[in-house]
A and B are shown apart, each in its own frame.
Chain A
Amino acid sequence: MRRRHIRPTFPGWRATGLFKQEGAWLIFGVAVVAGVLIALFGNGDQAQLLFSTCLFVVLAYAWNIISGLSGYVSFGQVGFFGIGAYVAATCQIAWQWDWYLAALGAVLAAVLLALPLGTVMLRLQGIFFALGMFGLSHIGALIATSTPLVGGSMGEPVPIVGSTQETALVMLACAVGSVLLTAWLLRSPLGLRLLALRDDEKAAEASGINTNASKVVAFCLSAGLAALAGALYVWNVGFIDPGSAFNNTYELQTILMVLFGGIGTLWGPLLGAVVISLISNALWAQFPQQQQIILGALILIAVLWMPGGLVSLFQRFGWLRRRPVWGPPPMIEAEARRALFPAAVSRTGEPALRCEEITRRFGGLTALNRVNLEARSGQIVAVIGPNGAGKTTLFNLITGFDRCNGGTIRFGETLLNRLAPYRIARAGIARTFQTCRPFPSLTAWETLLLPALAAGIPKEETIRTATQMLERLALREQWDASPEGLPPGQLRFLEIGRALMLRPRVLLLDEVMAGMSPEEIHLVHALLREAVAAGCAVVAIEHVVPAIMPIADHVYVLDFGTTIAQGRPDEVLRNPAVIEAYLGTGEEAPVNA
């Protein structure tokens, strides 16, 4: 039996949540049936309205995948619509392909083009990506205008073989397909990866996610969907010209629809596309001239007064929320439990991580000067030192977020100096961040699933380990809580848990015990001892010296980028240089553990 967990803030939410999810799908089903009936028995105008609404539904979901789920807002996604339209038109005019083959060709062409384009363009961030895509779609329009390939700037008719009703029916099917695709994405590991990188790209890399690959996949999916819409559009109107294929109004409308409905959600683009399509259809009849002005004003209203979109109105009542992936965590019978840390990965005492003579300079400041550090499996190494000693820089170098100016970092036999952060994480070096970097869009449960997925652990195993980890961190009751709702101590537990889910051979902890209560410190100690017993090497930066000394096997003291002392904890704490550097005066007694 699965236990029901009641959310503290929304009593009874969980009990009715399932019904509300299914209710949404039920309403969607009714709407689809109504659409089919309109296509079959309605007149030409109604079928045309159905077609254009469904066209925008597909475009809205295409834009939502790249800009909503992965957070890379594009102002040129309509470029793929134009490319799809042109490829399909060429296939139909030049080679007399059937419409569905032409559409397939258009999707393939767009995906093939999106692959290199995305790889390059997605290195850009924020406004640079948005406007870069805008430029690309303009280049597309310029090429279409200036080449005589398919009608040039004047355009060319495309043979119409289907009735409006037929095209509307096919477009409706595509719209349903794009809803299902997004629903699947939001319940899949890929969707989790996208949401994580949207929230915090660095933390996602540290969890072993190849963020570049995930973004490019999302970009290609989005391009393919937009191209499909373009291909069917040509089939419907029977004409192709640059002005309507690369139409910026479409971009504007699509963005408006997604914002109006709710960006990054499952139902938002659908709601937005249907509502705005119907509004602009009515406006078109009444105010053909002012339509664009009213749409622009609606964007302003949506952004200023409804930042979460229409969906957020429903979400206030607990409707239309995203369901956590693979949740809720199952109950695990005693006999099914395995050790949280699998059997020793390497023999205790073997060197796991070796930093030799590493140096990092920032302009004139030498943050680290020929620092050596060795972490052996089954041992806890503490790195202490005053503010600005270079401790966090050291971690950034080890985990690939920053590069050394000199020296080598080895993990076993592997040289880490040039590896991407996600590769280092997957190889078995996990880290936490000095200030917690949670994923606000993910639940605690999904935060723990994510690194295991990135490390390629099978589904059953991932679910079992994540469940046990939740229990171990005393977070089971909060499995579906957003990190934003967790108190600071539990947020740190979650961050430690996220690192441990990578099954690291080296665990780097950056001041995790700062500000923790004695009970919480006790829990962290127990966890670390367990990890160490399984052969993990722990390197802990700590400001709270008494919190780390009792469990440390070896201590390094950094000051101004150099190692001023190292050795057993009790020896180091008696070292006069350490006392002076760390405590400021040589007269006070050393801190007792």
Chain B
Amino acid sequence: MLQLQTYLLLLLTGIMWGGVYLLMASGLNLIYGVMKVVNLAHGDFIVVAGLLAVTLYGAFRAGPALAIPVATLLFLLVGGLVYRGLLARVETTAPQGELRTLLITFGLSSIISNIALLIWGGQYQSVPFFQSAVHLGALFFPESLLVSSLLAFALAFAVQLWLTRTRSGRLVRATAQSELGAASCGLNTGRIRLLTFALGAAMAGAAGALTVVLIPVQAASGGFMTVQAFTLIALGGLGNYLGALLAAILLGVIEVSSSYFLGASAASAVIYVIFILVLIVRPQGLLGQRGRI
């Protein structure tokens, strides 16, 4: 009986962590789906948003309710500027276009994480909010995890609704499926790409400001977060929303159970092993073509 309870706890906690991972990856997924650009500075956006939340907490005792909108707006702006100033200057489809966008975001990642290091220093920091435990029957969960994952699933659902049910979402999907086709129907694809990148960055900002209550961050943790997010969307099939949801839950459960059974450092190795195995065995993702943006 106790055994069963443990497994149930692992499963539910895993699913919740999956939601958090999904939140942290969805900006990357949106940007890749539309622009075919992997934003290697994604993790650094999350980290900086988290550290910003820490500062806001330190200054005003403000919780995520203030930090999330601030970080979202800030990174909406940052995303727009990065796109206008850097990425718009590179032709993605030209020879070496993909490489050049990768290298730009790689350089950007180095700049952002090191500026963060200068401002916030190298120690891990967190925001002590939602610190109580929530009892559900005989099981109990940290409140921070519960809140984060609920908000994460809600946001993922909202993005899905936006993409499928609204006019602007449909324009974004049209651009994702065929940029040339969208352009020849008279869409301003440059503006849609700008919107997408800004939104993707804003999602990273929101994710960072929220998950800092759960995951302590440090200026240099961005690289790891990018790889984690990329693992997730690669597992789901790059740019695939449904696949990403499935992959998030799978990864969450695997991570939680492997750190329960094998220990925390082994769990992070397990993630990389899964990542590499997925790349090799199923590079098109769990669902393949189905469920693309």
Contact = CB atoms under 8 A, between A and B. Distances in A.
Interface string A297-327: 1111001100100000000000000000000
B100 A293 contact: no
B114 A292 contact: yes
A368 to B, nearest CB: 23
B74 to A, nearest CB: 19
B115 interface: yes
Given A130-B102, A131-B230, A304 B110 contact: no
Given A290-B114, A303-B103, A304-B104, A120 B280 contact: yes
Interface in B104-122: 104, 106-111, 113-115, 118
A295 B110 CA distance: 8
Contacts of B230: 131
A255 B106 CA distance: 10
A127 B109 contact: no
A145 B114 contact: no
Interface stretch (A134-142, A410-418, A540-548): A134-142
Q: Which of A120, A146, A259, A292 has the most CB of B within 10 A?
A: A292
A296 interface: yes
A146 B265 contact: yes
B53 interface: no
Contacts of A132: 275-276, 279-280
B168 interface: no
B237 to A, nearest CB: 12
Contacts of A298: 107
B89 A296 contact: no
A138 B272 contact: yes
Nearest to B114: A292
A135 B276 CA distance: 7
Nearest to B103: A303
Interface string B260-277: 000001101100110110
Nearest to A300: B107
Interface residues of A, number: 40
B272 A135 contact: yes
A136 B273 CA distance: 8
Given A135-B227, A290-B114, A127 B280 contact: no
Contacts of B86: 300, 304
B116 to A, nearest CB: 10
A126 B273 CA distance: 19
A252 B265 contact: no
Nearest to B37: A127
Interface in A423-459: 440
Contacts, number: 100
Q: Which of A297, A303, A307 has the most CB of B within 10 A?
A: A303
B110 A145 contact: no
Interface string A261-295: 00000000000000000000000000001101101
Interface in B171-190: none
A142 B268 contact: yes
B268 A299 contact: no
A25 interface: no
Nearest to A199: B95
Contacts of B111: 292-293, 296-297, 300
A73 interface: yes
Contacts of A293: 110-111, 114-115, 118
A304 B90 contact: yes
Contacts of B275: 131-132, 135
B276 A297 contact: no
B223 A248 contact: yes
Interface in B13-37: none
B102 A73 contact: yes
Contacts of A307: 96, 100
A292 B118 CA distance: 11
A233 B86 CA distance: 36
Interchain residue pairs A-B with the least CB separation, the first 4 = A299-B107, A296-B110, A296-B111, A292-B114
Given A290-B114, A293-B111, A304-B86, 11 more contacts: A121-B280, A124-B280, A128-B234, A131-B230, A132-B275, A142-B272, A146-B265, A292-B111, A293-B110, A297-B111, A303-B104
Interface of B: 38, 86, 89-90, 95-96, 98-100, 102-104, 106-111, 113-115, 118, 223, 227, 230-231, 234, 265-266, 268-269, 272-273, 275-276, 279-280, 283
